[in-house]
Amino acid sequence: MTSRADIPGFLLLEDGTLFHGRLVASSPVTVAEVVFTTNMTGYQETFSDPSYRGQIVVMTAPMIGNYGINPEDPESGRPQIAGVVVRELSRTFSNWRASGDLQGWLGAANVPILEGIDTRQLTRHLRSVGVMRGVIGAGADATDEARSALDACPSMEGLDLASVVTTDRAYEWGSPDAPYHIVAYDYGIKRNILRLFESHGCRITVVPSTTTPEEVLALRPHGVFFSNGPGDPAAVTYAPHAIRTIGKAGIPVFGICLGHQLIGLSFGGSTMKLPFGHRGGNQPVKELATGRVLITSQNHGFAVLGSEQDIPGAPELEVTHVNLNDGTVEGLRHRTLPIFSVQYHPEAAPGPHDARPLFKQFINAVRGEVGRSGPNA
């Protein structure tokens, strides 16, 4: 178990608000966008989710670390966050799957943990004025070095982080004998998405974010998936051409989170940055066709601009789901092509499983493509 190091630390926000705490491990000054999540469990999945790349995550749960870490739960090969802010970090852990402690896992990746912060006050501040850039540093007060680093930190708007977190080469996931072949664009794909596709009888070819649609179509997939990921969707300028080309070829297309936003952009829509985003496992979403309400897992700071009625500039798209907290668009479907998407995370790692049937919906469309093109495509 990692030993404790009591180092005075601080979080300075770009509006000048200063929070004092304890820096659990010595680290250089860390600057990033500061966001909060309302997930009460699943911190290892959260911290390893590539969609959190380049962000300092505030945990609203009062204590984390009490069940340790394990090799099965990470959503990628390493912690992706820039830093963690908590009320209390548990120095002991107990779980039959645990292989180590959270402090050691994050410390090995040079991710600072700032504890002893009133995270309720910090969260209320971010909800009131919006998420913003911040800096974590050591010391009783903010240093000139920290202030300079904060001034130099870029805004999340305009950043293409999908090209940063994507795989550098294509790879396979699942049995080579699986009946369905899915090509997945990796903009920051979570492992649980791949696990769920595999559980539905799929072999997945994961490709880099800049893979051309011609290269994908040459693989003869039965369906194409556009994944979650970090950053500003409007900066991923290479994606819309791929989405339109593959969709117009008649291949079933499914998008989640960033993939959903890119589908909106591909057919004439726009995206906007939300004041404080949706991050947590308790977001209510209404399915417009049935009126059914799903409790969903979410992690996004941008959204497709629109309402229940339409997506301005994108008459080919139909809105299928909306967020009941703020009315933002949570689902889309193309009116004539086999394309649909959701803003939330039906793979839910962590989070509720209300929306997992969406994977079956996609597989049903894929079965139709298998019948059209043959099982050996």
Give the Cα separation of 75 and 87 in Å (integer).
24
Q: Give the global pTM.
A: 0.94
Helices and strands in the chain: count of H runs, count of E runs: 10, 19
The answer as to whether 12 is a domain residue is yes
Q: What are phi and psi of 124, to 5 degrees?
A: -60, -35
- In this predicted structure, what is the pLDDT of residue 1? 46
Query: What CATH number does residue 220 fall under?
Result: 3.40.50.880
Map tokens 């001034």 to a residue: 151
Q: At 21, which amino acid appears?
A: G
From the list 181, 200, 321, 345, the catalytic residue is 345
Q: Give domain status of residue 318, yes or no.
A: yes
Q: Are residues 245 and 137 in the same domain?
A: no
Say if 51 falls within a structural domain: yes
State which residues of the chain have pLDDT below 70.
1-6, 26, 369-377
**Do 253 and 166 share a domain, yes or no?**
yes
257 catalytically annotated:
yes
Residue 2: inside a domain: no
- Among 33, 75, 115, 347, the one annotated catalytic: 347
pLDDT in tens, 222-232: 999 999 999 99
Task: Tell me how far CA of residue 259 lies from CA of 25, 67, 120, 224, in angstroms.
Answer: 36, 32, 32, 11
pLDDT of residue 373: 58
CATH code at 17?
Answer: 3.50.30.20
Q: What confidence score (pLDDT) does residue 250 get?
A: 96
Same domain, 195 and 90: no
Same domain, 146 and 242: no
Structural domain including 81 reads 7-152
In a domain, 1, yes or no: no
Q: What are the backbone dihedrals phi and psi of residue 254, each rounded to the nearest 5 degrees, phi first? A: -135, 135
* 232, 330: one domain: yes
Domain presence at residue 84: yes
φ/ψ (deg, to 5) at 39: -60, 135
pLDDT tens for 133-160 read: 999 999 989 999 999 999 999 999 999 9
| CA gap 172, 174 in Å, rounded | 7
Catalytic annotation present for 316: no
**Residue in 33, 257, 260, 278 annotated catalytic:** 257
- DSSP H or E run through 122: helix 119-129
Tokens of 71: 């090799």
Which of 86, 117, 152 lies at the terminal end of a domain, its last residue? 152
The sign of the torsion formed by the CA atoms of 14, 16, 20, 23 equals positive
Query: Could you give the CA distance from residue 177 to residue 91 in angstroms, rounded to a whole number?
Result: 45
CA pair distance 227, 242, nearest whole angstrom = 13
Cα distance between residue 362 and residue 180, in whole Å: 11
